[in-house]
C-alpha cells in the first residue's frame, strides 16, 4: 500500500499547532505497520537545518495561468526511513513565518497552498510515486481531492481528506478562483456564499473524509462552521479517528528538554522540574502551591476569554499560573499584563518554544484546556503522560480523552466542565485544587493513573490502514 501524505505543517520542520505533530507521528506509525508512506510539504526557510536534503530535480506547477518553477528536495522524518519531499518555490516559502505574522496569513496564501496541492499532484506524476492513496490534511491541501475528482490528479489514486480544524476553511475572494486552476465545470465545488472555499471542495470531492476524534465528527454535523449541509451530504464517508501521542517525543522518562526525568514509579524528578521552572520564570519557589499551566496558540477557539474572565478568581484560589503561547495580540497583552499584576504568581512566555512546552508539561500539577471547541487536542494527552492533571471543557476530542475524576471510586483522569462560562471553568479548577490540597494521596493516584494511560498512535494508525484498505480494496499493509 503506497500512501502520499500531504501537509502544510510537519514536525519538527514546521510547526504551528497539532497538525504538525500528527503529520509526523501518523506517517511514522503507518511506516511501522508496513505502509509505504511518503510525506510532502513545502520547503520553508530553515528546513534544511533539520534533515539532510537531496536535490531530486525541477518541477513545474501551474498556479493561475502561470507555470511556477519549483524544485523537489528529499529528506527523511527524523529517526525513520520515511521520505519527506519538500516542494521549493522560494518566493512563496522562503519567509520568516509559515502562514504569516501574529497569527495572520500572508496575502498570497491561496497561491502558496495551491502550489503545495498542485505541486504534490505533479510530484506524484512527474516522479512516478504512483500512490494508492493521497492523504490530504486541512484546507491547505483540500484542492487535491478536487483535482482528483476533475481528472487533473494522479491516475488510480484515491483521496482521504482529514479535517483537523473546521474553523479554518481557506476562504478567499471569489475573484481569485482562477489561481486554483480548477476548470469551469468544477468551480461550483469550491464556491460558498459568494466566496472561494477550498475546504468545501475537499469535503465534497474526497473519497473518504476523516476528522480527529469521534465526538468532533458528531459535533460538526450539528455545528459545522457553516458547512453542515456539505458534511451532512458526506455523512456516510465521515469517520472520526482519535489522534494519538508520539511517546518517542513526549515521554518524561527520556525527554531531553527536562531538568530531571521521571516516571510513575519515581516522581522526584517532577518536583524538581517544578522548582526549576519556578526559579527560571521568577515564580515563588513553593512546592506546595498548585501550578496551573497552558500551552496554546493564542486563538479565540482555545477559551482565553474564559481565562480572562476568571483570572483574578483563579489566582484567589492560591494557585500559580504559567502560560506559553503566541498569536492574537489581544491575548498576548492580557497575559503580559497579568504577569505584571501578579509578580511571582503568573508567568507569561509569549513565544513559541518546543523546549518550554515540554518543561511546562513536566512542571505543572494541573493543565488547563478550556476550549470553546477542540477537534482533538494533543496537549491534554501530553499532560496526562507528564502527570499534569487536565482540566478541560467537555467538547470534541477532550470528551474522548478526559474522564471526570471520582475520588471515592478512584476512577477518571481529570476534570471537566460543560458551560462556556468563566464560572464553570472556575468550578472545575476549584475541584482540582481542593483535591490537590485536601487529599494529596488521592491526587497522586489520579496523576499516576493518567501517566499510565496509553494514547499512543498504534490504534489510530491501524484504523487508518483499515480505511486505506477499504478505499483501495487491497488487503495488505
Looking at beta carbons, which residue is closest to ligand ADP? Answer: 18
| Smallest distance, ligand ADP to C-beta of residue 326, A | 5
How far apart are the C-alpha atoms of 443 and 445, rounded to whole Å? 5
Mark 265-304 with x for binding to ligand ADP (rule: CB under 6 A) and - for no binding: ------------------------------xxx-------
Neighbours of 444 (CB within 10 A): 14
Nearest distance in Å: CB 98, ligand ADP: 12
Smaller CB separation from ligand ADP, 154 or 212: 212
Site string for ligand ADP, 137-166 (x = CB under 6 A): ----------------------------x-
Q: How far is the CB of 363 from ligand ADP (least distance, A)?
A: 14
- Rounded to 5°, angle at Cα 265 from 261 and 268: 50
Which lies closer to ligand ADP via its Cβ, residue 62 or residue 325? Answer: 325
Asked if residue 97 lies in contact with residue 117, where contact means CB atoms within 8 angstroms, the answer is no
Q: How far is CA 393 from CA 179, 390, 425, 437, in A?
A: 40, 10, 8, 22
Contact 302, 369 (CB under 8 A): yes
Query: Measured between alpha carbons, how far is 127 from 2 in angstroms, rounded to an integer?
Result: 14
Which residues have a Cβ under 8 Å from the Cβ of 402 and sit 6 or more positions away? Answer: 380, 390, 392, 413, 414, 415, 416
Question: Whole-number minimum distance, CB 304 to ligand ADP, in Å?
Answer: 12
Of 7 and 379, CB closest to ligand ADP: 379
Instruction: Report in angstroms how near the CB of residue 122 gets to ligand ADP at its nearest.
Output: 28
The nearest distance, CB 70 to ligand ADP, in angstroms, is 27
* Residue number with CB closer to ligand ADP (147 or 250): 250
Q: Is 395 in the site for ligand ADP (CB under 6 A)?
A: no
Neighbouring CB atoms inside 10 A of 353's CB total 14
Cβ closest to ligand ADP, residue 153 vs residue 170: 170
Name every residue whose Cβ is closer than 8 Å to that of residue 395 and which is 6 or more positions away in sequence.
215, 219, 371, 372, 373, 374
Q: How far is CA 226 from CA 120, 168, 220, 237, in A?
A: 28, 11, 9, 19
Q: Of the listed pieces 14-22, 59-67, 432-440, 468-476, which binds ligand ADP according to CB under 6 A?
A: 14-22
DSSP of 101-166, one letter per residue? STT---TTHHHHHHHHHHHHHHHHHHTT---SEEEEETGGGTHHHHHHHTT-S-TT-EEEEEES-T
Torsion, Cα 117 230 377 432, to 10 degrees, reads 170
Using CB under 6 A as the binding rule, whether residue 353 contacts ligand ADP is answered as yes
Taking the C-alpha atoms of residue 206 and residue 204, their distance in angstroms, rounded to an integer, is 6
**Residue 250 C-beta: closest distance to ligand ADP, Å:** 8
Cell numbers for 395, please give them: 467538547
Total residues at interface with ligand ADP (CB under 6 A): 19
Buried b (16+ CB within 10 A) or exposed e, 70-98: bebbbbbbbebebbbbbbbbeebbeeeeb
Stretch that binds ligand ADP, among 12-20, 25-33, 134-142, 305-313 (CB under 6 A): 12-20
Q: Binding string to ligand ADP for residues 362 to 391, with x set by CB under 6 A, is what?
A: --------------xxxx------------
Residues 306, 425 contacting (CB under 8 angstroms): yes
Kindly tell me which residue out of 9, 21, 230, 332 binds ligand ADP, with binding defined by CB under 6 A: 21
What is the closest distance, in whole angstroms, from the C-beta atom of residue 354 to ligand ADP in the complex? 6
Measured from the CB of residue 299, what is the shortest distance to ligand ADP in angstroms?
7
Q: Could you tell me which residues come within 8 angstroms of residue 462 by beta carbon, excluding any fewer than 6 positions away?
A: 33
- The DSSP letter of residue 237 is G
Taking CB under 6 A as the rule, does residue 17 contact ligand ADP? Answer: yes
Q: Are 380 and 401 in contact (CB under 8 A)?
A: yes
Task: Give buried/exposed letters for 375-392 (b at 16+ CB in 10 A, else e).
Answer: bbbbbbbbbbbbbbbbbb
Task: Closer to ligand ADP by CB, 342 or 352: give it.
Answer: 352
Using rule CB under 6 A, residue 211 touches ligand ADP: no
Q: Which of 247, 257, 352, 420 binds ligand ADP (CB under 6 A)?
A: 352
- Binding to ligand ADP in span 44-63, by CB under 6 A: none
Task: Identify the residue among 87, 166, 199, 324 touching ligand ADP (CB under 6 A).
Answer: 324
The pattern of x and - marking residues 404 through 433 that bind ligand ADP according to CB under 6 A reads ------------------------------
Among 354, 406, 423, 454, binds ligand ADP (CB under 6 A): 354
Q: Which is closer to ligand ADP, CB of 196 or CB of 389?
A: 389
Q: Which residue in the set 114, 326, 383, 472 belongs to the binding site for ligand ADP (CB under 6 A)?
A: 326
In the complex, the residues that contact ligand ADP under the rule CB under 6 A are 17-19, 21, 165, 295-297, 324-326, 352-354, 357, 376-379
Amino acid at each position: 500500500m503506497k500512501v502520499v501524505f500531504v501537509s502544510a505543517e510537519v514536525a519538527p520542520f514546521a510547526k504551528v499547532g497539532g497538525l504538525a505533530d500528527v503529520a509526523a507521528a501518523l506517517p511514522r506509525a503507518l511506516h511501522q505497520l508496513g505502509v509505504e508512506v511518503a510525506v510532502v510539504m513545502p520547503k520553508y526557510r530553515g528546513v534544511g537545518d533539520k534533515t539532510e536534503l537531496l536535490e531530486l530535480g525541477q518541477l513545474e506547477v501551474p498556479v493561475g495561468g502561470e507555470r511556477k518553477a519549483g524544485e523537489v528536495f528529499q529528506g527523511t522524518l527524523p529517526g525513520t526511513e520515511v521520505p519527506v519531499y519538500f516542494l521549493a518555490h522560494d518566493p512563496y516559502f522562503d519567509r520568516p513565518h509559515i502562514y504569516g505574522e501574529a497569527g495572520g496569513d500572508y496575502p498570497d496564501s491561496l497561491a502558496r497552498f495551491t502550489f503545495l496541492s498542485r505541486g504534490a499532484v505533479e510530484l506524484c506524476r512527474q516522479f512516478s510515486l504512483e500512490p494508492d492513496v493521497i492523504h490530504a490534511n486541512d484546507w491547505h491541501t483540500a484542492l487535491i481531492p478536487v483535482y482528483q475528482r476533475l481528472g487533473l490528479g494522479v491516475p488510480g489514486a484515491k483521496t482521504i481528506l482529514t479535517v483537523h480544524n473546521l474553523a479554518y476553511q481557506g476562504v478567499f475572494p471569489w475573484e481569485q478562483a482562477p489561481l486554483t486552476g480548477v476548470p469551469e465545470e468544477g468551480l461550483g465545488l469550491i464556491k460558498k456564499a459568494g466566496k472561494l472555499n477550498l475546504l468545501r471542495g475537499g469535503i465534497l470531492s474526497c473519497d473518504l473524509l476523516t476528522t480527529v476524534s469521534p465526538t468532533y465528527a458528531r459535533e460538526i454535523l450539528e455545528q459545522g462552521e457553516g458547512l453542515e449541509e456539505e458534511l451532512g451530504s458526506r455523512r456516510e464517508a465521515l469517520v472520526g479517528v482519535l489522534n494519538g501521542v508520539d511517546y518517542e517525543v513526549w515521554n518524561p522518562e527520556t525527554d531531553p528538554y527536562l531538568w530531571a526525568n521521571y516516571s510513575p514509579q519515581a516522581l522526584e524528578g517532577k518536583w524538581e522540574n517544578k522548582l526549576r521552572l519556578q526559579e527560571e520564570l521568577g515564580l515563588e519557589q513553593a512546592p506546595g502551591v498548585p501550578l496551573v499551566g497552558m500551552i496554546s496558540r493564542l486563538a479565540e477557539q482555545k477559551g482565553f476569554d474564559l481565562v480572562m474572565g476568571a483570572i483574578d478568581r483563579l489566582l484567589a484560589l492560591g494557585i500559580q499560573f504559567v502560560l506559553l503561547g503566541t498569536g492574537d495580540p489581544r491575548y498576548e497583552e492580557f497575559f503580559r499584563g497579568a504577569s505584571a499584576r501578579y509578580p511571582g504568581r503568573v508567568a507569561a512566555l509569549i513565544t513559541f518554544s518546543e523546549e518550554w512546552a515540554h518543561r511546562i508539561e513536566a512542571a505543572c500539577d494541573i493543565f488547563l484546556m478550556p476550549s470553546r471547541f477542540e477537534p482533538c487536542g494533543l496537549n491534554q494527552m501530553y499532560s496526562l503522560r507528564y502527570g499534569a492533571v487536565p482540566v478541560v471543557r467537555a467538547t470534541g476530542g477532550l470528551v474522548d480523552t478526559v474522564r471526570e475524576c471520582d475520588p471515592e471510586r478512584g476512577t477518571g483522569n481529570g476534570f471537566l466542565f460543560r458551560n462556556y462560562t468563566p464560572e464553570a471553568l472556575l468550578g472545575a479548577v476549584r475541584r482540582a485544587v481542593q483535591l490537590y490540597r485536601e487529599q494529596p494521596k488521592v491526587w497522586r493516584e489520579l496523576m499516576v493513573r493518567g501517566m499510565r494511560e496509553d494514547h499512543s498512535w498504534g490504534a489510530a494508525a491501524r484504523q487508518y490502514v483499515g480505511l486505506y484498505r477499504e478505499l483501495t480494496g487491497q488487503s495488505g499493509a
